[in-house]
Amino acid sequence: MLGIIGGRIYDPQNGRDGEIGDIWVRDGRVVTAQEIDRERAQIIDATGMVIMPGGVDIHSHIVGAKVNSGRKLRPEDHRGHERARVGNLRSGVEGTVPTTHVTGYLYSEMGYTTVMEAATAPLVARHTHEELEDMPNLDKGVFITMGNNHFIMECIRDQQYERARDYVAWLLGASKGYAIKIVNPGGVENWKWGRNVGELDDEVIGYEGVTPRQIVQTLARINDDLGLPHVPHIHGINLGKSTSARTTVETIAALEGRRAHFCHLQFLSYGAGKGGVHRSEAAQVAEAVNAHPNVTVDIGQVIFGSTTTMTSDGPLQFSLHQTTGNKWVNDDVESESGGGIVPIAYKAANPINATMWLAGLELFLLIDDPWRVFLTTDHPNGGPFTRYPQVIRLLMDRGYREEMFAGINARARKGALLPELEREYSLRDIAIITRAGPARVLGLRNKGHLGVGAAADIAVYRDLADREAMFARPAYVFKGGELVARDGKVVAELPGRTLYVAPAYDKSIEAEVDEYFKRAYTLSLASYSVLGESVRGAERVECGARS
Amino acid sequence: MSTIVEPVTCSFCGCVCDDLSAEVDNSRIVRVRGACSSGLGMFTGYDPAPRKPTVDGQEVTWEEAVAEAAAILKGAHSPLIYGLSSTASEAQRKAVELADRIGAVIDSTSSVCHGPSGLAMQAVGEPTCTLGEIRDRADLIVFWGCNPDASHLRHFARFSLTPKGALTTNGRQDRTVYVVDVRPTGTTKRADHFLQVDVGSDFEVLTTLRLLVRGKEPDVESVGGIPVADLAELAQRLKSCRFGVAFMGMGLTMTAARQLNVAELFTLVSELNQYTRFSVMPMRGHGNVAGADQVLSWTTGYPFAVSFARGYPQFSPGEFSAVDMLVRQATDAALIIASDPGAHFPRAAAQYLSEIPTIVLDHAESVTASHAQVVFPTAVYGVDASGTAYRMDNIPIPLHKVIETERVTDEDVLQRIIEAVQ
């Protein structure tokens, strides 16, 4: 039993906006004061401190084949960022692609308790789950890439909607995934021919009549029909290109009112500028988001410094390699996906990088409803998640924003919207964009809030004027009521859970998949599926029709 | 009475074939359908009789053996953990945990095999793909310094030469096959073109190909024993194929220039993607050596040759690789998992290994085990234990328990040692 008393509670889900109060915990859950024997409870005096639910990261690349290739690729990123073994905690490396245990520790040290792995090809989901078992202190879920899946594209071509729906349901269970992920729909498949898509109505090579638009529409409909806890999680076409803002707005419209989440929107909010340097079209994209309440977004804010880009967007990664000349990993995945990795350095003095930085902040400040915009860096693509506290300060502190703005490339500064945007986020806003909002759109009913019955995932911060310092080193972090970090240092290792869905489907799809596997894959269905297998800490989340 | 067990997965080599079935009679595997001759021996040659662990050649209880192993490791200043490539990833994870706890150096057989491919990847990247992409799309196959005809017996039939795929509907006819090697092999007999390169000249040939791909003409008649005209023809094919793949082996990694050879090939393949789509794939040898790279990378950030001596992972091939640790006599106790360095390492390394306290986890009575203080006769993953192996294209594949025995797994033994050293 635990009581955190006398702190200012920010729990937007339950309408608490900084009033002083107590949080009581028993058996890993938030309970009422009446359910606690105060004599036996551990009491934390949070006087003068800020209490929030544990952070919820809706989009981060933390485990799996691509992330691990990124680790192997970058010894230069690890050196100087080693983390020594302390007691029974593991050693490892930090940097932009931290080792698995250390990733769990670093999130704990920042007050986060739930993180979603943003993209796994189902073919290598078994690897992802092995790594997740080695990632303590976090509850996790895995988004399964489906935007270039051959079976789904065949169904779309042959106008067999129900077959596609049953396959998606089967696939989520077979990979123990949490959500449908779409990455550059059709473009990753076309990359296998050395091409890409540029428009929503471009055709996918080899799939007559199948287009990015149809892939998005079909998967959005399936998501609703299956009643998945999350919405389809979309990385659209043209990421990084000067046509991206236009096609992002078109993709939002193409949903025709269906719910969807657009990830790392910053990377998809550019227009053509002078001399081949993109301009920020944050205003145009934010307007579309504001006008479509069916849409949520996360930003993928760029942090100045070195990082490692890694996406399932194969053609994007090749073009990054061509642009930067940096080393390049590509990995085409049979019948379903692809991906690549390129190290990069974002520099304030570079006009393109500075514009990316601006676009992210402008989106944060121009999207009106904090319940629909969430804090991410698309770790590690925009920068490592360990820099979230800096982004929080940029959002809460206009003076700091102006100071950084003055230091960026002059061409990027010229005509920029940012200086006109006076908005400063409040602590309530921060609690929404880092906790309550992502938990709500992920369908995690017991997370992102501190009402009775909620998971006792709790972060307690000292109320410092320097918001970066405040959010970098929480005084206390509890996972399921257990203290896991104190004063910004991890103190305990607890096994985390892996949340997954297994929606119902018409069983006749299994025989079809069995036949399909024989022609489409070089391994057996039994090797592919992890459905019937035990994954340590796996916990099924129920699906239900959406209201 | 015999029973048929399926599915069965073979983890003998990096193909990790998962389409086998076994006939089991009286707790012995008598036949395996679908297995190649290399893989077959792993199953039918396995004696499942219970064996006890030994300390100094005397049979002891498991508890006594664990206590002795823990005492050796705790008493060592610089323990070495080596092997890993023929065990499951579940055991590899335990091995790293143990190394972290006791401040050991940990290394896999990668360091004497495709370690240089890892270094090349770290230097220039690696455009690759899964084996199904190759089966379905590749119309140009290059085998460079490798001989799958002897090392990966089902590779041709399942992935690279004869199977019919989505775009390779006519199988072998739809593929043009080149081999570059220093001598004719079984693989060269299956190729359309064999370019015989002088020993030690791969780097020059690869550089010349990069020139030719860029449209430049070297002013010599031949390079590395190969007429430039033949290389020009190959360069043209490399650029104009639909989807090409270069499989490479120890002919590049373990000859002069090592990782520089490999980096030159990886760079060539990267550059070819400006013209068409091209991938490269190291022909990983042992069944789960790719898994050892994976597990070490997610737990330490580095694929092999890692030291925990300072309390955190440090990577230094040539320093923390097992052969170098032994030749320099920089270790004073060794834990060997599913590998036989005593039989395969250079003489000075094997000699020193036989002189220091050694613990062996292996199903086989290896040369290393014959010199070891503590021997744990463990189960074989995929035969009498279940686990996970990573295929050469890094796809994880489950290994199934085919027969029930009383053998303990590597994972169990390592867990007990972890508990005993605390």
Taking CB atoms and an 8 Å limit, are B273 and A73 in contact across chains?
Answer: no
Set of chain B residues whose Cβ sits within 8 Å of the Cβ of A520: 132, 166
pLDDT digits (tens, 9 = 90+) for A222-241: 999 999 999 999 999 999 99
Taking CB atoms and an 8 Å limit, are B9 and A78 in contact across chains?
Answer: no
Set of chain A residues whose Cβ sits within 8 Å of the Cβ of B125: 73, 321, 327-329, 341-342
ipTM for the complex?
0.98
CA distance B388 to chain A (A): 9
Taking CB atoms and an 8 Å limit, are B299 and A73 in contact across chains?
Answer: no
* Domains contained in chain B, CATH given: 51-110+287-378+408-421 (3.40.50.740), 115-282 (3.40.228.10)
Q: At residue B259, does pLDDT exceed 60?
A: yes
User: In what side-by-side order are the strands of the sheet with A305-311?
Assistant: A305-311, A340-346, A328-332, B125-129
Taking CB atoms and an 8 Å limit, are A327 and B124 in contact across chains?
Answer: yes
Set of chain B residues whose Cβ sits within 8 Å of the Cβ of A531: none
Nearest CB among A68, A318, A334 relative to B132 is that of A334
Nearest CB among A191, A329, A522 relative to B126 is that of A329
Residue of B nearest to A78 (CA): B301
For every residue of A465-503, which 3-state class applies, written as one string?
A: CCHHHHHHCCCEEEECCEEEEECCEECCCCCCCEEECCC
Nearest CB among B9, B100, B135 relative to A90 is that of B100
Residue of A nearest to B273 (CA): A194
For every residue of A57-100, which 3-state class applies, written as one string?
A: EEEECCCCHHHHHHHHHCHHHHCCCEECCCCCCCCEECCCCCCH
pLDDT on residue A547: 38
Neighbouring C-beta atoms of residue A219, cutoff 10 Å: 27
pLDDT digits (tens, 9 = 90+) for B140-188: 999 999 999 999 999 999 999 999 999 999 999 999 999 999 999 999 9
CA distance B105 to chain A (A): 14
pLDDT digits (tens, 9 = 90+) for B331-367: 999 999 999 999 999 999 999 999 999 999 999 999 9
Cis preceding-peptide flag for A53 (omega within 30 of 0): no
Neighbouring C-beta atoms of residue B146, cutoff 10 Å: 28
Q: Is A524 on the interface with B (CB under 8 A)?
A: yes
Set of chain B residues whose Cβ sits within 8 Å of the Cβ of A85: 100-101, 308, 311-312
Give A 285-324 residues with CB within 8 A of chain B.
318, 321-322
Q: Which residues are within 8 A (CB) of A515 and not within 5 positions of it... i.e. 6 or more apart?
A: none
Set of chain A residues whose Cβ sits within 8 Å of the Cβ of B396: 124, 126-127, 130
pLDDT on residue A546: 47
Nearest CB among B100, B128, B131 relative to A330 is that of B128
Nearest CB among A83, A332, A527 relative to B129 is that of A332
pLDDT on residue B123: 98
Nearest CB among A83, A127, A333 relative to B130 is that of A333
**H and E: helices and strands count for chain A:** 20, 26
Q: How many CB pairs under 8 A join A and B?
A: 168
Whole-model pTM?
A: 0.98
Mutation for testing the B interface, residue in A85, A523, A525, A534 having most B CBs under 10 Å? A523
Contact A252, A289 (CB under 8 A): yes
Contact A69, A61 (CB under 8 A): no
Half-sphere exposure of B271 (CA within 13 A, CB side): 17
Residue B294, phi then psi, degrees to nearest 5: -65, -50
What is the identity of the amino acid at B274?
Q
Instruction: Average the pLDDT over B117-123 and give the result.
Output: 98
Contact A542, A357 (CB under 8 A): no
Half-sphere exposure of A255 (CA within 13 A, CB side): 27
Each residue's pLDDT tens digit in chain A (547 positions)?
A: 999 999 999 999 999 999 999 999 999 999 999 999 999 999 999 999 999 999 999 999 999 999 999 999 999 999 999 999 999 999 999 999 999 999 999 999 999 999 999 999 999 999 999 999 999 999 999 999 999 999 999 999 999 999 999 999 999 999 999 999 999 999 999 999 999 999 999 999 999 999 999 999 999 999 999 999 999 999 999 999 999 999 999 999 999 999 999 999 999 999 999 888 899 999 999 999 999 999 999 999 999 999 999 999 999 999 999 999 999 999 999 999 999 999 999 999 999 999 999 999 999 999 999 999 999 999 999 999 999 999 999 999 999 999 999 999 999 999 899 999 999 999 999 999 999 999 999 999 999 999 999 999 999 999 999 999 999 999 999 999 999 999 999 999 999 999 999 999 999 999 999 999 999 999 999 999 998 888 889 999 999 854 3
Set of chain B residues whose Cβ sits within 8 Å of the Cβ of A68: 294, 297-298
Tell which residue, A500, A444, A498, A511, has the closest CA to residue A166. A511
Taking CB atoms and an 8 Å limit, are A330 and B159 in contact across chains?
Answer: no
Taking CB atoms and an 8 Å limit, are A522 and B274 in contact across chains?
Answer: no
Residue of A nearest to B418 (CA): A88
Q: Is A518 on the interface with B (CB under 8 A)?
A: no
**H and E: helices and strands count for chain B:** 18, 22
Please give the share of chain B, as a percent, with pLDDT higher than 70: 100
Set of chain A residues whose Cβ sits within 8 Å of the Cβ of B303: 72
DSSP, residue by residue, B10-45: --SBTT----EEEEEETTEEEEEET--HHHHHHHHT
Taking CB atoms and an 8 Å limit, are A71 and B293 in contact across chains?
Answer: no
As a whole number of angstroms, the distance between CA B252 and CA B281 comes to 12
Taking CB atoms and an 8 Å limit, are A328 and B274 in contact across chains?
Answer: no
Taking CB atoms and an 8 Å limit, are A75 and B301 in contact across chains?
Answer: yes
Taking CB atoms and an 8 Å limit, are A82 and B313 in contact across chains?
Answer: yes
Taking CB atoms and an 8 Å limit, are B123 and A327 in contact across chains?
Answer: yes
Set of chain B residues whose Cβ sits within 8 Å of the Cβ of A533: 398
Q: At residue B368, does pLDDT exceed 90?
A: yes
* Residue owning tokens 């020993």: B199
Instruction: Average the pLDDT over B19-30 and give the result.
Output: 95
Encoded tokens for A49: 């401190």
